[in-house]
Amino acid sequence: MADPDAVTYDVGGRTVAITHPDRVLFPADGVTKADLAAYHHAVAPTLLRHLADRPLMLQRFPEGIGGDGFYQKEAGRGVPSWIRTVEVPKEGGTVNHPVVDDEAGLLALTNLGTVSFHRWGARADEPDRPDLLIVDLDPSDDDFATVVRAAHLTRDLLDELDLAAYVAVTGSRGIHVVTPLDRGVPTDAVAAFARAVAHLLARRHPELLTDEARKKKRRGRLYVDTARNGYAQTAIAPYSVRPRPGAPVATPITWDELDDPDLRPDRWTIASVPARLDDVGDPWTDLARHARDLALRWERLDALVRAAPT
């Protein structure tokens, strides 16, 4: 039976209903499902540029972030049949990931209580050819100043390798530094390159950074995490909401903004991002234009590793 209180959106030739619009998804803030849908509607042109044509993992909280949430990779479990899916191999079988190409799909998944969209670093047509390399700088404590310094050091190294570097606060505790790629090499090669970048950063700055995966060996240093570059790994999509108090948003920023003393990883929320986009736009608009071939940069990276302190 139709929900008489539903809020509807007519988008792309479809009518999408947001049922139970008054359901509170963020208890500490009173943010409702209708508020989340309104945010997604407001930022859809920008958010969709970062979601479209990518396999997605949904982070759903049907009863709000104070209740039981879950991650969903396989389309089904409420996902409308008209939403596109892509079948990708996994060990022992396949997964049919949802793909959001338009606002109707975005809002339909919002209606399922999808708070966060986690995306592959590759596109649906070539899931083993990433077009993004991600360095995840996430502290084990609240030392955000160290994260900011690590992001600058990462950018400096990528500059040495003639790779573009884009930066975003994650809406949680850390920063992502992202490099666009031309899809010239497969996932394994991208992951290996990213690990070598992390290793070189750790060797150059051993007092500050580590590429040691085991926590007990990090000794208080910031972990340069490149695991998101592995096959079928995902990262939070730009302009996606995080299931945290305040409804913070993963927000691309400029490198100048990184030095703002008031910057926090959860600085922008669903209440402030639409106005930010109106005022300054999306700092990642031209990201794809600066895609590069990693195969041409291995020799340079190898030379820098050999020259680094041991």
Taking only the tens place, the pLDDT of each residue in 8-67 is 999 999 999 999 999 999 999 999 999 999 999 999 999 999 999 999 999 999 999 999
In which region does residue 183 sit, left (phi positive, over 0), alpha (psi from -120 to 50) or beta (all else)? left
- Could you tell me what percentage of the chain is helix, strand and coil, using 3-state DSSP and rounding each to the nearest 5? 30, 25, 45
- Domain ranges, ordered by start, for the chain: 7-120, 128-232+242-310
What superfamily would CATH give domain 7-120?
Answer: DNA primase, PRIM domain (3.90.920.10)
1 has pLDDT over 70: no
pLDDT class of 216 with cuts at 50, 70, 90: confident
Q: In this model, does residue 297 exceed pLDDT 80? A: yes
- Provide CB contacts within 8 A for 177, sequence distance 6+: 134, 135, 137, 151, 154, 155, 158, 165, 166, 167
User: Residue 227 belongs to what H/E stretch?
Assistant: none
Amino acid, res. 110: T
- Would you say the CATH fold of 128-232+242-310 matches that of 7-120? yes
Q: Cα separation of 50 and 145, whole Å?
A: 27
Q: 179: which 2 tokens?
A: 């490099």
pLDDT at 271 over 60: yes
pTM of the model: 0.96
Dist. CA 160–CA 297, nearest whole Å? 10
Given the candidates 3.90.920.10, 2.30.30.830, 3.30.1330.30, 3.40.630.30, the CATH classification of the domain at 128-232+242-310 is 3.90.920.10
How far is it, in rounded angstroms, from Cα 122 to Cα 72? Answer: 18
Q: What is the mean pLDDT of residues 261-266?
A: 96
Report the amino acid identity of residue 196.
A
142 confidence band (pLDDT: 50, 70, 90): confident
Q: Are 33 and 20 contacting, i.e. CB atoms less than 8 angstroms apart?
A: yes
> Where do runs of H (alpha helix) occur along 205-284?
273-280
d(CA 4, CA 9): 14
What is the average pLDDT across 113-120? Answer: 98
Work out the average pLDDT over 252-259. Answer: 98
